[in-house]
Structure 1
Amino acid sequence: MLHLVFLEPRIAGNTGNAIRMVAATGARLHLVDPLFELDEPRLRRAGLDYHDMAHVVVHADLGAALAALPDARVLAFTARGTVRHTDVAYTDGDVLLFGPEPTGLPDDVLAHPRVTARVRIPMLPGRRSLNLA
């Protein structure tokens, strides 16, 4: 199964959509503090009735999240990625790491020794972000 790690997510609705996605696919969602309250109405609304079917874990910091997944490859998704998302051979247990919606992953996280690849999803010029949703 894949593990999605959202570092300090800011938009509750996006995380709600991710909850729905992990419930439907069997992936696991790891949220790294600080974040909003998990009973936030926009999160509940976007996740529909999938919350009880999703495996969601909250971690105090990125170190704790990665420690919970000690043998996993960590693929950091960033606009500054060097590998296209279609060129990655995803394997069971991979961690797909995403940063806060307004800023993306900071440089210190991209340089983390556990990050095995910086992955990008190509966008047309002039587009800011794909967002987590």
Structure 2
Amino acid sequence: MPQVVLYQPQIPPNTGNVARTCAATGTPLHLIEPLGFTIDDRQLKRAGLDYWPWVSLERHSDLEQFERQRLAQGGRLVALSSQGSAQHHRFSFRPDDWLLFGRETDGLPAPLLEQADACLTIPMPRGTRAGGGVRSLNLSVAVGVVLFEALRQLEALS
């Protein structure tokens, strides 16, 4: 089963919504600190509803602690970024992939993108509005899109 990793999430309802998706799919959720909120934040709990008991949640004090665990368990680090070079639906997911998503405001730092085994993007038609249209999806939407594609490929949906 792939695992979802949020790098320093900042917006409590986004993380709560991701937690709800992870509960619904039985997917482990990892949060790399520092967080932009406290774990007992009312908005975080509200977005996750009463599903928190079904979330396999691990918090990591920093990136180094997370990396030690990931390396010990094995699997590829698959980063998601608007700057990714491969489209997520054309990528062959594996059960031991770690799906890494960045902060809502500025995504993943360049060094982290460079160390990832793959860097994917969710293709979106770019608008013709001034400024080039929408740059990215909401974090919880992006997690849902990528996670469900991975689970579809792995025939893990029932």
Aligned partner of 1:128 in structure 2 is: 135
Aligned partner of 2:32 in structure 1 is: 32
Q: Does 1:61 align with 2:66?
A: no
With the length of structure 1 as denominator, give the TM-score of the two structures. Answer: 0.94
Aligned partner of 2:150 in structure 1 is: none
Distance 1:124 1:8 in 2: 28
With the length of structure 2 as denominator, give the TM-score of the two structures. Answer: 0.80
Distance 1:106 1:87 in 2: 24
Q: Secondary structure at the match of 2:22?
A: helix
Displacement, 1:128? Answer: 2.4
Distance 2:85 2:135 in 1: 18
- Residue 75 of structure 1 is aligned with which of 78, 82, 100? 78
Query: After the TM superposition, which residues 34-49 of structure 1 pair with which residues of structure 2 at under 5 Å, given as runs?
Result: 34-35=34-35, 36-49=37-50
Aligned partner of 1:9 in structure 2 is: 9
Displacement, 1:95? Answer: 0.4
Query: After the TM superposition, which residues 93-132 of structure 1 pair with which residues of structure 2 at under 5 Å, given as runs?
Result: 93-112=96-115, 115-125=116-126, 126-132=133-139
Distance 1:92 1:9 in 2: 24
Between structure 1 and structure 2, the one with the greater Rg is 2
Q: Which amino acid aligns with 2:22?
A: V
Displaced runs of 4 or more, over 2 A: none
- The count of residues paired between Structure 1 and Structure 2 equals 131
Q: Extract unaligned runs of 5+ from structure 1.
A: none
The structure with higher relative contact order (CA 8 Å, sep 6+) is 1
Aligned partner of 2:88 in structure 1 is: 85
Displacement, 1:66? Answer: 2.1
Q: Which has the higher strand share?
A: 1
Root-mean-square deviation (CA), in Å? 0.9
Q: Which amino acid aligns with 2:137?
A: L
